[in-house]
Amino acid sequence: GTAVVLEDVRKTYELAEPVHALDGVTLEVSRGSYTAIMGPSGSGKSTLMNLVGCLDTPTEGRVVVDGQDVTTLDGRERTDLRGTQVGFVFQTFNLMPRLTALENVALPQLFQGVGRGERRERARELLERVGLADRADHLPSELSGGQRQRVALARALVNEPAIVLADEPSGNLDTETEADVLDLFAEFHDAGTTLVVVTHERHVAERAERIVHLLDGTIERIEKLESTGEPTSPP
């Protein structure tokens, strides 16, 4: 099956001169796949992520998320689709500073109308899967960068979304912590999670099954990798 399909997608920003942020992108993200997006600054990575994440709609073309054509939905329906089918992981973690790790992970379910007991139980399960069961009651400020990103990943996964989008997920982490977080991504990929990661870092992208190279708003090429889930050996 397919988690996300983009069909000849164009996104134009009408400035003094129109900016073609995406200029005819066709891409399929199958369920359980692991995709990296690379490209120079201004090549359209953020725009692509915003479309796949139902944060925005294309100027032309279709975006289909979990079988639903996003372009036919109104704002409210798009928000619902995003809340249930997309998990976000950011470079800066974006955790709520006054909520504990457990409360942060539980939060997305609140908007899905899940009851308190079930929310906490499910959040606890996810924290366990990311190895942070013993940090459930800590505030983000009491956690290391790697631990914060693991909380963010647990939060992204708590609603069992069709796809998890990560924007430079290890950009703020040191090398060792980065490796831990990427190992965790690989673990979730092995367990069936669909992952799309935007990164400037070749070694981060190489953990995926393929790298989509963007250039000037188009797909320059798609590089297939022999994904072993293992980090590539140093040169």
Task: Catalog residues that contact ligand ADP under the rule CB under 6 A.
Answer: 13, 15, 19, 21, 39, 41-47
Nearer to ligand ADP, 2 or 91 (CB): 91
Q: How far is the CB of 126 from ligand ADP (least distance, A)?
A: 27
User: How far apart are the C-alpha atoms of 219 and 10, rounded to whole Å?
Assistant: 12
User: How far apart are the C-alpha atoms of 144 and 173, rounded to whole Å?
Assistant: 9
Q: How far is the CB of 132 from ligand ADP (least distance, A)?
A: 27
Nearer to ligand ADP, 47 or 104 (CB): 47
Does residue 48 contact residue 26 with C-beta atoms inside 8 Å? Answer: no
Residue 218 in 3-state DSSP? strand
- Tokens for 158? 């708590």
Q: How far is the CB of 127 from ligand ADP (least distance, A)?
A: 28
Nearer to ligand ADP, 38 or 123 (CB): 38
Half-sphere exposure of 62 (CA within 13 A, CB side): 11
Nearer to ligand ADP, 46 or 172 (CB): 46
Q: How far is the CB of 217 from ligand ADP (least distance, A)?
A: 7
Closest Cα partner for 190 from 172, 208, 205, 203? 208
